[in-house]
Amino acid sequence: MSVDGDSSPLSSSGSDDFAALLNEELAGISSDESLEEEADETDQDHDGEEEEVYEELNVEDADFAPKRSKRQRLDMLDDDEGLHCSTSLEPVSQSSDVSVQLEICAHPSLIKGMCVKCGRMVDDVSAVALGYIHKDLKVGSDELARLRNKDLKSLFRKKKLYLVLDLDHTLLNSTHFQHISPDEEYLKSQTDSLQDLPNGNLFQLDSMRMFTKLRPFVRTFLKEASNMFEMYVYTMGERPYAMEMARLLDPGKIYFDSRVISQADCTQKHQKGLDVVLGAESAVIILDDTEYVWRQHKENLILMDRYHYFSSSGRSFNLNNRSLAELKRDESEPDGALATILEVLKRIHQLFFDLEQDDDLMRRDVRQVLKTVRSEVLKGCKLVFSRVWKIGEQVENQRLWEVAEELGAICCKELDASVTHVVSTDMGTEKSRWAVKYKKFLVNPSWIEAANFLWQRQPEDSFAVNDSKKEH
Q: Quickly list DSSP for 8-74.
A: PPP-SSGGGGGHHIIIIIGGGTS-GGGHHHHHTS-GGGTHHHHHHHHHHTT---TTTSTT--HHHHH
Tell me the average pLDDT across 11-16. Answer: 46
pLDDT confidence of residue 469? 54
Specify the higher pLDDT residue, 98 or 416: 416
Average pLDDT, the chain: 82
Asked whether residue 54 carries a pLDDT value surpassing 90, the answer given is no
Q: Domains in the chain, start-ordered, CATH in brackets?
A: 109-151 (no CATH), 158-353 (3.40.50.1000), 378-463 (3.40.50.10190)
pLDDT confidence of residue 104? 79
Model pLDDT for residues 119-130, shown as the tens digit of each residue: 899 888 889 999
Distances (CA, A) of 225 to 43, 198, 276, 419: 46, 17, 21, 39
Q: How confident is the model at residue 396 (pLDDT cuts 50, 70, 90)?
A: confident
Distance, C-alpha 353 to centroid of its chain: 21
- Among the listed ranges 63-67, 206-210, 392-396, which one has the minimum average pLDDT value? 63-67
Q: Which of 146, 250, 258 is nearest to 198 (CA)?
A: 250
Strand partners, 101: 91
Asked whether residue 353 carries a pLDDT value surpassing 70, the answer given is yes
Model pLDDT for residues 327-343, shown as the tens digit of each residue: 999 999 999 999 999 99
Going by the DSSP 8-state scheme, the letter that residue 159 receives in this structure is T
| Strand duo 161-165 + 229-234: pairing | parallel
Secondary structure class of 448 (helix, strand, coil): helix
pLDDT confidence of residue 46? 40
- Among the listed ranges 198-202, 357-361, 397-401, which one has the minimum average pLDDT value? 357-361
At residue 361, what are phi and psi to the nearest 5 degrees?
-55, -40
- Among the listed ranges 66-80, 370-384, 390-404, 416-430, which one has the minimum average pLDDT value? 66-80
Other C-beta atoms closer than 10 Å to the C-beta of 65 total 19
Asked whether residue 274 carries a pLDDT value surpassing 90, the answer given is yes
Specify the higher pLDDT residue, 393 or 442: 442
